[in-house]
Structure 1
Amino acid sequence: MSAGQESPALGGKPRMLLTGGGGLVGRNIQAHPGAANWHILAPRSAELDLTDAGAVDAYLARHQPDLVVHAAGRVGGIQANMANPVAFLDENTAIGRNIIMGAHRAGLRQFLNLASTCIYPRAAENPLREEMVLTGTLEPTNEGYAIAKILALRLCEYIRREDEGAQYKTLIPCNLYGAYDKFDPKHSHLLPAIIHKVHQAQKNGETSVEIWGDGTARREFMYAADLADAVLRAAADMASLPDSLNIGLGQDHTINDYYATVAEVIGWDGTFTHDLSKPVGMKQKLCDTARQQDWGWQAPTSLRDGIAQTYRHYLESGYA
């Protein structure tokens, strides 16, 4: 059932089960104007433990959603991935397997899986094309998370292979940032960590901020509300979506560029130093957006506008 079809028991709105509803992606999906077209079920972990296959099966049997959007998982930056590789592999594997196979066993016909560009080989030629998955060695700093995400993607593909009518498909977003992000450096990704570091430097009167590595590694960061826009576009017409699709900007910036843009938005005029002993991950991770362009979608928010809106959220949410 698509967003245009009726579900009489719910006032004409189809039902979406959104996993990870309390996270960055899930909260941005629920805040998007297009969410009003759906009756969204977004259980927190206390209501639905996705690592418990029996609990997942029971929840799906009880609620029978028309579409599952799978955005849940244990997430974190380089520090968190390196410190907890067992949990990142084990928990994300269990979560992905349970929700995908649970939906399949329940006879659900529409499933939108969210992956990550970390599933691409570390030495893959940029821009990263969807067919490059499993063509080389993964980046060691987040290998466990990547393996779990590849498993989920392949499960969806195999279900489609056995049953063409099952719309089990995967979006592969580039790096994200935005409202509802985590800003604690122990748990955050790059851009929210930069916002926190530079704000604290300004607040404390510090004249320099340290960057891990030489700052020349390139990354593609998309405003999370833009991913929500793509998710809801896909949810409304799953049949038009390719089996796997990069969602990104098709352009990237250096780590140094991101620090400079954040400093400009915040109004901090200090200098940056570089710790060359720290890990930096892949040198570049840029999505090929040819399929996305054929699908007819592009991200509407500029980097500076996205950072400004995220910084406003950071201040209003009390992180500062």
Structure 2
Amino acid sequence: MPLLLSKHTRIFIAGHRGMIGSAFVRHFTAAGFSQLILRGHEELELTDKAAVAAFFAEQRPQVVILAAGKVGGIVENLTYPADFITRNLEIQTNVIHSAHHNGVERLLFFASSCMYPRECPQPMAETALLSGKPEVTSMAYAMAKLAGVQMCLAYNQQYGEQRFIPVIPNSVYGPNDNFDPQTGHVLSALINRFHRAVQAADPITTLWGSGRPRREFLHAADLTAACHLLLDADLGAVELPINIGSGYDLPISELAQLIARILGYQGDISWDTERPDGTLRKLLDSSRIQALGWQPGIALEAGIRQTYGSFLESGHA
């Protein structure tokens, strides 16, 4: 049976200060939900098993949005692979185990498109998971996320209930993103790079890689809408995990040109081809979520303009 969320459903948003977590705070607040449970890192350390267990026993959330974890771009993934795999495994294990032990009705786990094989038929269907090796530049992160997906499916299988929902969004962006060029993902990092280039009137901006890889981008507000649908759905006949993508991808070179135009950059763009590209294409097959009635609503250019506005308002500029 569907959960049928009410305005008084107790919802724990783990990672509520991050981009995805804060999008859920905005979404549920705007929808009138009054029982959001929020804890910062200084209040609840999710890698501490005992602290997580005590928190769940005391708060008894009905729904968990597991948006906490260590994320980053190619540079961070290559530099800190041990941190990526260890921290994410610890958080996932602690939260999912405590959610089961305390009778949580629904848990959303956010996986990643980087789990798919580097060489994968496009668009990538959920059935392609584990059919080949992920891209080496994000291997540690991908393996942690694969473990989280399998943990959700294992609990569902062993206890006979579709309570834990692993979703696979593709390149989420939006307000409160990480705009650091060294640690952020490509879209947010490019916003920062071109903003600085405009300020400095740089005649040329050099970007990492060849610009040829294609990427699919999903606005955080579209992700929250899709996830709200899943939380309220009868999942008995829904096969998990479930992709959530916009259905449209473009080369990084075109993304860079689009962002440069939106921000008013007049200089030239060059590419440092000595730097790695990562996977050449990662377009998701989102037919499972579309069959439930969801479609993305925010076009890429409009989403970038909104995200840039939040970048300026947040004091990053």
The TM tier, using the shorter chain, reads over 0.9
Aligned mates of 1:306, 1:36 — CA distance in 2: 24
* Residues paired across the two proteins, number: 314
Partner of 1:32: 27
CA offset at residue 252 of structure 1? Answer: 0.3
Normalised TM-score (structure 2): 0.95
Query: SS of the residue aligned with 1:264?
Result: helix
Partner of 1:88: 84
Aligned mates of 1:62, 1:280 — CA distance in 2: 46
Aligned mates of 2:308, 2:53 — CA distance in 1: 40
Partner of 1:13: 8
Partner of 1:239: 235
CA offset at residue 163 of structure 1? Answer: 1.8
CA offset at residue 277 of structure 1? Answer: 0.2
Unpaired runs of 5+ residues, structure 2, are none
Deviates more, 1:98-107 or 1:254-263: 98-107
CA offset at residue 38 of structure 1? Answer: 5.0
Aligned mates of 1:3, 1:201 — CA distance in 2: 48
CA offset at residue 166 of structure 1? Answer: 4.4
CA offset at residue 3 of structure 1? Answer: 4.5
Query: SS of the residue aligned with 2:54?
Result: helix
Partner of 1:59: 55
Per-residue deviation, residues 77-107 of structure 1 (Å, max 9, x unmatched):
0011111000000000111111111111223
Partner of 2:302: 305
Deviates more, 1:228-237 or 1:44-53: 228-237
CA offset at residue 35 of structure 1? Answer: 4.7
Residues 172-251 of structure 1 aligned to structure 2 (within 5 Å)? 172-237=168-233, 239=235, 242-251=239-248
Aligned mates of 2:219, 2:198 — CA distance in 1: 24
Paired residue type of 2:232 = A
CA offset at residue 141 of structure 1? Answer: 0.8
Residues 78-157 of structure 1 aligned to structure 2 (within 5 Å)? 78-157=74-153
Paired residue type of 2:264 = G
CA offset at residue 238 of structure 1? Answer: 5.6
Paired residue type of 1:287 = L
Q: 1:4 to 1:318 in 2, by over 3 A?
A: closer
Per-residue deviation, residues 97-135 of structure 1 (Å, max 9, x unmatched):
111111112232321111111111111111111111111
Please tell me whether the aligned partners of residues 29 and 231 of structure 1 are also in contact (alpha carbons under 8 angstroms): no
Please tell me whether the aligned partners of residues 13 and 25 of structure 2 are also in contact (alpha carbons under 8 angstroms): no
CA offset at residue 229 of structure 1? Answer: 1.6
Aligned mates of 1:270, 1:313 — CA distance in 2: 24
Normalised TM-score (structure 1): 0.94
Aligned mates of 2:162, 2:300 — CA distance in 1: 36
CA offset at residue 263 of structure 1? Answer: 1.0
Aligned mates of 2:58, 2:95 — CA distance in 1: 14
Partner of 2:289: 292
Deviates more, 1:174-183 or 1:237-246: 237-246
Per-residue deviation, residues 153-175 of structure 1 (Å, max 9, x unmatched):
00110111112224111111000
Unpaired runs of 5+ residues, structure 1, are 6-11
Aligned mates of 1:311, 1:59 — CA distance in 2: 36
Query: SS of the residue aligned with 2:291?
Result: helix
Please tell me whether the aligned partners of residues 69 and 111 of structure 1 are also in contact (alpha carbons under 8 angstroms): yes
Deviates more, 1:239-248 or 1:142-151: 239-248
CA offset at residue 190 of structure 1? Answer: 0.3
